[in-house]
Homo-oligomer: A and B are copies of this chain.
Amino acid sequence: MKEKELIQIIKSTLNSNYIGDDCAYLKDLGIVVTQDSLVEDVHFKMDYMTPYQLGYKSVMVNISDICASGAEPKYITISLSLPKHVDEDFVKNFYEGAKDACGEVKIVGGDLTGSDKIFVSVTAIGSTKSRKISSRSNAKKGYKVIVSGEHGNSAKGLQLLLSGKTEPAKFINAHLMPIAQREFSEKIASNADYDYAMMDTSDGLGDALMQIAKASGVTISIDTSKIPHDSSVDMERVLYGGEDYQLVAVVPDSGDFTCIGEVTSGKTGIIIDGIFYSNIDDKLYKHFEENK
């Protein structure tokens, strides 16, 4: 079974309103919370990644989820499961990386257990104080689509790593050491007086736009020539590569941000350079299949 079908089963079993956005917004406590796991040989391989980078990225991707909600990232807990052959240096370097990803965020707990493969599960908590929280169902006709940073660099970095290369550093770092877009998030969410949708591009820019279009019941139309990207990265990776941890927001006014499109009338889905897609499931990136 595919993940999306299993998530439907979870939703119907729990009959929960909370499952849907990357973060759960717990209004009564004034917080958002998110939890994501990284599994060795599913999400990463240690033959191209140091323990420091693993700790760093595990934390950063969860901080990115908090940023996507518009909340202020505050606290992290880390559950780490390690095979017996893993030593003291691994743990020390992993936590050095985790700490360096945090910035002002504090690591406040978690646990450590044994396992066959390395397994990292990180929970991040953000404060909603003075922030307007995003929902992917908030896109409205006439809203503009804005993005942070360059797209596709992480997928290119992974391609290089899987073929044994360790440079150019720009792409390698985009994959191994992504940077959550805290400032972009803060600018959008601080004291915003409108509803807006925001997601990170963990599963790709195209996927994020499709998720927002579906949750909001709108058409989102974009012009790929406006998407910031390195000229050496092909458009498939720019749109569907994922793991860039850039932010894409759908807001009433694009202001000074990079605008790549807008919400139009029509069927639920996305329009890319004039071509309509009601789903892009066949385009989603497969981590370890492409280069085998």
Q: Which residues of A line the B interface, CB within 8 A?
A: 1, 3, 5-7, 9-10, 13-14, 16, 18-19, 23-24, 26, 28-31, 33-37, 39, 41-43, 74-75, 77-79, 81, 87-88, 91-92, 95-96, 99, 106-117, 119, 121, 123, 125, 127
Q: Which of A34, A36, A96, A109 has the most CB of B within 10 A?
A: A109
Known: A13-B95, A14-B107, A33-B77. A39 touches B6 (CB 8 A): no
How far apart are the CA atoms of A5 and B13 in the complex, in Å? Answer: 41
- A16 B106 Cβ-Cβ under 8 A: yes
Known: A14-B95, A34-B77, A77-B34. A115 touches B108 (CB 8 A): no
**Which listed residue (B13, B14, B79, B91) contacts A35, Cβ 8 A?**
B79
- A29 B26 Cβ-Cβ under 8 A: no
Known: A106-B18, A112-B3, A121-B121. A13 touches B96 (CB 8 A): yes
- A119 B81 Cβ-Cβ under 8 A: yes
Known: A9-B91, A91-B9, A92-B9. A39 touches B81 (CB 8 A): yes
- B119 A35 Cβ-Cβ under 8 A: no
- A42 B114 Cβ-Cβ under 8 A: yes
- A79 B125 Cβ-Cβ under 8 A: no
How far apart are the CA atoms of A179 and B108 in the complex, in Å? Answer: 26
Smallest Cβ distance from A219 to chain B, in angstroms?
Answer: 28
- B99 A14 Cβ-Cβ under 8 A: yes
Collect the chain B residues with CB atoms within 8 Å of residue A116's CB.
41, 116-117
How far apart are the CA atoms of A119 and B10 in the complex, in Å? Answer: 17
- B107 A6 Cβ-Cβ under 8 A: no
How far apart are the CA atoms of A113 and B276 in the complex, in Å? Answer: 30
Specify the chain B residue showing the minimal Cβ separation from A13.
B95
Smallest Cβ distance from A17 to chain B, in angstroms?
Answer: 9
- B24 A75 Cβ-Cβ under 8 A: yes
Smallest Cβ distance from A177 to chain B, in angstroms?
Answer: 18
How far apart are the CA atoms of A88 and B13 in the complex, in Å? Answer: 11
